[in-house]
Amino acid sequence: MKAINVGLLGIGTVGSGTFKVLSRNAEEITRRAGREIRIAMIADRDIEKAKKLAGGSAIVTDDAFKVASSPDIDIVVELIGGTTVARQLVLEAIKNGKHVVTANKALLALYGNEIFAAAQKAGVIVAFEAAVAGGIPIIKALREGLTANRIEWIAGIINGTSNYILSEMREKGASFADALKDAQALGYAELDPTFDIEGIDAAHKLTLMASIAFGIPTQFDKAYTEGISKLTREDITYAEELGYRIKLLGITKRTEKGIELRVHPTLIPAKRLIANVEGVMNAILVKGDAVGATMYYGAGAGSEPTASAVVADLVDVTRMHTSDPEHRVPHLAFQPDAMSDVAILPMSEVETAYYLRMRAFDKPGVLADVTRILADLGISIDAMVQKEPIEGEEHVDIIMLTHRTLEKHIDCAISKIEALAVISGSVKKIRLEELNRN
């Protein structure tokens, strides 16, 4: 059978990994796909680098649009990143009747509705396994493996860079800046690393998973996003002393009031498997009504782990290339005319437990004042620790874990606590999730 011709846009970390994996495993991949998958064209700004990688096996250009419109190309693989040129290229490829494979979660979280509609209309596939959790086949699991289930919630460590930073800080006492520098050198971080450390990249991925899980359009603008840049070493240590680990989690949950869509640092019981996921590894818990809780684990970033997902999509698209568009797996798991308009909840309506840390004058009556405020708002305390005062200091750290309450109640309590004369500075709030089977 005739080879399928691929146009590769971008040969940075993921693009070069894709070329290498596809070349190295060519024989087995052909046996799996049923025909040869051949990189026929490569576009990158650095032509010399592209020529060196291709070694004469592909046409090389610095004009990615030439690839997206070439009549010789069947599948365009977009690995340049960003949301401007990448969007134009993907739409151009679709317009020219080409299937698209991309690892670009930012692009799909922001413009997924437009891109999937264009692909549907053109009868082509946009595959994006590599866009969520690097090498873990979570899109396939959610869209196909768990298709029998009513998905109830998803909670995941879905940014390798921030997990790497938290692990390096906790295990090796590394500084935030040094750990970030390492993650960049290892090819894990986005071009703009604030996407990683401020939770934006995780929110892009969570947006895509929520759409697939609940059959809703992509709504990145409604995601609550908080990163790890304000976490302190004290919080990591205090959480540890109370039996918890802090992880940057993406959580999406179906509730009676609407859908939660949130990314933030979260205390998780240290005994949970997911609390022990370290370094660049990602892990995603998915709760389905029939299957219960399932967990998916693997490398969330990096050259060849991400290439593994890109190449898997290439094989999938090759297999589905000739099938009737009406009978292909829908891009967001649900048929486009069967999407739901259930609302994303504002954070004030989200219910969770909390870790609170405050600095208070070490004198009688302080705890009574704080607990009265919490009690008046119906917030009950699960655990409390008062640290020994540091010599020469008149303040002590008080750490409280609360039971579940609405975010609007805890925020109201925090402003009242901060207004107390005996409290110094602001109260640190970190959300806490037990992540048990329910």
Chain residues binding ligand HSE by CB under 6 A are 134, 159-161, 188-190, 196, 201, 300-301
Residue number, nearest CB to ligand NDP: 12
Question: Interface mask (CB under 6 A) for ligand NDP, residues 67-96, using x and -?
Answer: ------------xxx---x-----------
Catalytic residue among 105, 205, 247, 253: 205
**Least Å from the CB of residue 160 to ligand HSE:** 4
Binding partner of 273, given ligand HSE, ligand NDP, none, CB within 5-8 angstroms per partner class: none
Q: Is 188 in the site for ligand NDP (CB under 6 A)?
A: yes
Contact 201, 105 (CB under 8 A): yes
The stretch near ligand NDP (CB under 6 A) out of 12-20, 146-154, 214-222, 327-335 is 12-20
Q: If binding means CB under 6 A, how many residues of this protein chain bind ligand NDP?
A: 26
151 token code pair? 């998905």
Query: Pick from ligand NDP, ligand HSE, none: which does 159 bind, CB < 5 to 8 A by kind?
Result: ligand HSE
Residue with tokens 């805890």: 410
Please report whether residue 187 would count as binding ligand NDP according to CB under 6 A. Answer: yes
For residues 288-327, which are near ligand NDP according to CB under 6 A? 301-302, 306
C-alpha to C-alpha distance for 154 and 386, rounded to whole angstroms: 34
**Residue showing tokens 């596809």:** 22
**Residues 6 or more apart whose Cβ sits within 8 Å of residue 386:** 367, 396, 397, 398, 399
How many distinct helices (H) and strands (E) make up the chain?
A: 15, 17
CA 335, 336, 340, 344 torsion: positive or negative? positive
Distance CA 25, CA 42 (A): 19
Per-position DSSP letters for 347-415, written without gaps between them: GGG-EEEEEEEEEEESSTTHHHHHHHHHHHTTPPEEEEEEPPPPTT-SEEEEEEEE--EEHHHHHHHHH
Among 24, 32, 34, 45, binds ligand NDP (CB under 6 A): 45
Is 387 a known active-site residue? no
Q: Is residue 141 part of the contact set for ligand NDP (CB under 6 A)?
A: no
CB 37 → ligand NDP: shortest distance, Å?
A: 19
Residues taking part in catalysis: 205
Q: Give me the residues that bind ligand NDP (CB under 6 A), please.
A: 10-15, 43-46, 64, 79-81, 85, 103-104, 130, 134, 187-188, 190-191, 301-302, 306
